[in-house]
Structure 1
């Protein structure tokens, strides 16, 4: 550990004393009742793409998405044009797990000079330089599906995977942790630090909060309902807090407040707020999702308002400061349900349709990822049919 701590300390010292803060954008859509006036503009995605799991704005006009079928796609939200980004392969490929889980995470560093996501092997980390998506490095360590990616600052990032490990990586060349493969023009990297979270054997998502300098991870222990959250001090990785979550089912997403040490975790039926201001106490508040929402699949903070992506009731907005859902001009909670969405009408579709009471295919579409642009005026939302064995997709701009 001594060598690891020295490396981490040296890398931090190459920047400032504090990690580079994220760009605190204007909070416009989710302020007050503005979200009650947003409208949906659907973006057609070819039906060869199955379920959009991850998304990120790379500039004002383009969003990159990752799919269950393990593909990266750049979408021009202005004119709808698309291009596929080749997945990165290691020069010494490892066995690809079956079935492949797809790309569950895409993240940009604060200066938007690098994009991190999954590789051709769904266990690998892939780093692309922006704006031209040039392959830069492949990170090889995780031996199960990569679920979470969080940048600490411009040159360091963390990953969490189904193998229960949290890995800390750097884009810099570090002797013993980086090699350059001239034959394919990319770097091969191994983590500069590997953390095991006590009691968590499967990590489902990660989020770094630059305010408290903690990495939040959500996952499960040995049992199906052993849901836990772990908060890690990235400067002192041995300092970790592991907490049992009161809501046990389908805890698969975590996000953090922009300016305070508060995290949010989404479950099947509840939003959970975790206040990390006092390390000696455990303050977890559970808020029931609006009916008939079915499972929180994506979360994000804009100031004190959390945007929630789910199924059936597709978009909801929760005000952390006032501890209530954002209301419209009639004082009813703002709920947005999508109008369209593609689902392949095969045997599985006919089997599931009556379980989800649909008159429209959109009834079983879930918003599995969403992200705001830098202005806060446009929300990209995407996903697909919630049942695992159904094929389909959905993408839209809400503005």
Structure 2
């Protein structure tokens, strides 16, 4: 312990990342013992048991010294931008839950960013007054939903929360946190079927990669401006149950949204092309749609299946009366699309004008998209820039 502490005293405090490993402080005798036992040596059973006992005692003593040394190091450090990552090695007993040493990072802590990995128990976050960013990764399926909900309620200073590949014992996540200061929420490949943002006053940016989630319910989210939604469905067995057109359920979101990204990924999509035509009658209820997206300024529709009629985006366009930038991306396909021509709209005397759209970009443009292009040019009075690309891709860079 004393030797370990002296060794860490010389560590430069300005380093941004420190990686401490138990294997770095195990004695050479331990490695020799492990090598012998892996070869089933020594042959004498009594001597073998003696070596096993020494090896186990060495592991216990080393881990105890390592833990004490880490505690002393954290207590001595007064840094404000420390990033602590807790991970389990592949050989660790995965039935055991790691207990984060929150006793040395309590009210005196200046910890601002914390990442917890698989099989880590969540520390009492109400003690972390300065914590502003929390990342939870690969949480086990036995994790109670109350633990996730407690994150929103207990850590009032938190501003950024990322949940990545997090599983749960419950299918519905309800966020009812009127005192929360979280401004950015990222949910990626989590197991929640339903996400209800009941009371989330400070949330500004939301990104969701939706594989299992079939519904997002928006309650009081008055500050929400940026939304990135990615839809993915990999299991064919779920397709039949979800053939209903669920896209409209995602339009009933906060009216304060200014930026929206919609992306369709996966081997199968859960909106039938034939269902998309049903969106056109919605234009007769334009006042209803305007109430859904009245402040939207930037819209990206990415990875649209090539056999869809691209003209269905007209509904989104007309639903966003203040839309300024519209980007549509259709991946290149070697197969000839089933629908060779887009939908043709004849000119109408009472055709509504769009006075704010300035930029239209279409990636994957083909001749069958000419009707949508003509329509946009005809009704958009402020159009300044049109970009038509035959091929291209969209790269996700997060919020």
The structure with the largest alpha-carbon Rg is 2
> Structure 1 or 2: larger strand share?
1
TM-score range normalised by the length of the shorter chain: under 0.3
Q: Which has the higher contact order (CA 8 A, sep 6+)?
A: 1
TM-score between the two structures when normalised by the length of structure 1: 0.24
> Structure 1 or 2: larger helix share?
2
